[in-house]
Amino acid sequence: MLYAGVRHPVQEARLMAVHEKLKEIQTTLKAPKNLYNKYGKFNYRNAEGIYEAVKPLLNKLGMTLIISDSIQAVGAKNYVQATACLTDCETGEQLSSCALAREAEAKKGMDDSQITGTASSYARKYALNGLFLLDDTKDEDSNECREYKENKSKAESAESTQPAAFKPATAQQIHKINEYIMAYAGMCEDASEGDIWNTLKKKYGFAKQSDISKELAERITKQVEAWYKKKKEA
């Protein structure tokens, strides 16, 4: 996903005012992850959830939010570019954020319009994330985060008892994992590649790709391959 912030400057004093309003939204907006992915076993939020969460703040601050889509060709691939535009109703000043989501070449049980709609939903979600500083990482006090820390601690303890040196996963192994993740994410309406990586980090107790050993890479590959095949057969 690509993010780009765009500002439409007017008078400096007014520009500060609209930024102050955006700051209040960014610091007070609560958009809970109230949806659940049964395949990856993680909670997530979608664009519609963010719309509903931000409406009271827009009303309070006298602002409107408009999201528009356009199709962008990048090489041989088509991407949906979503632009979230925040407007101050009093001054007309605007702040916006853009994000791209690639259209899948094909999805089982979906026609072309549905494929484009899925990409649009992803692009809109990430444009809103960029504008309002929302992220998809796990909350520090969540059960998922605690489970991740516990698993990571167990993994570190297990590694400390192993006499053999750590053997990092090869570039080919990481590439294969990414291929399965991209294929699986392309078939899901509710899971991005980042969401799937976060689920794997929680499940296997690693913080970054460089922490993955050769042995763990084999286990992760089998897991994402199983998710992909199960989704493909659904």
Q: Is 30 helix (H, G, I), strand (E, B) or coil?
A: coil
What distance in Å separates the CA atoms of residue 189 and residue 214, rounded to the nearest whole number?
31
List pLDDT tens digits, range 123-163.
999 999 999 998 765 444 444 445 555 665 665 555 555 55
Torsion of CA 51, 57, 59, 63, to 10 degrees: -80
For 93, phi and psi rounded to 5 degrees?
A: -70, 150
pLDDT for residue 152: 59
- Only one residue has tokens 């690509």, namely 2
Asked whether 98 and 80 are in contact (CB, 8 A), the reply is no
Share of the chain above pLDDT 90, in %: 33
Share of the chain above pLDDT 70, in %: 78
Q: Sign of the C-alpha dihedral, residues 55, 56, 58, 59?
A: positive
- The strand pairing partners of 100, in sequence order, are 81
Asked whether 110 and 12 are in contact (CB, 8 A), the reply is no
Mean per-residue pLDDT for 204-215?
Answer: 90
Asked whether 199 and 43 are in contact (CB, 8 A), the reply is no
pLDDT for residue 141: 40
Q: What is the CA radius of gyration of the chain?
A: 20
Distances (CA, A) of 51 to 45, 64, 128, 214, 216: 11, 11, 9, 42, 39
Q: Is 221 exposed, middle or buried (0-12, 13-18, 19+ CB in 10 A)?
A: middle
Indicate the pLDDT class of residue 7, thresholds 50, 70 and 90. Answer: very low
- From 150-154, 215-219, 230-234, the region with the lowest mean pLDDT: 150-154
What distance in Å separates the CA atoms of residue 182 and residue 186, rounded to the nearest whole number?
6
What's the pTM value of the predicted model, to 2 decimals?
0.54
pLDDT higher than threshold 50 for residue 111: yes
Q: Which helix (H) or strand (E) holds 86?
A: strand 77-88
What distance in Å separates the CA atoms of residue 50 and residue 94, rounded to the nearest whole number?
19
Asked whether 103 and 82 are in contact (CB, 8 A), the reply is no
Query: Nearest 5°: CA angle at 44, between 196 and 138?
Result: 75
pLDDT higher than threshold 80 for residue 180: yes
List pLDDT tens digits, range 54-89.
999 999 999 999 999 999 887 788 889 999 999 999
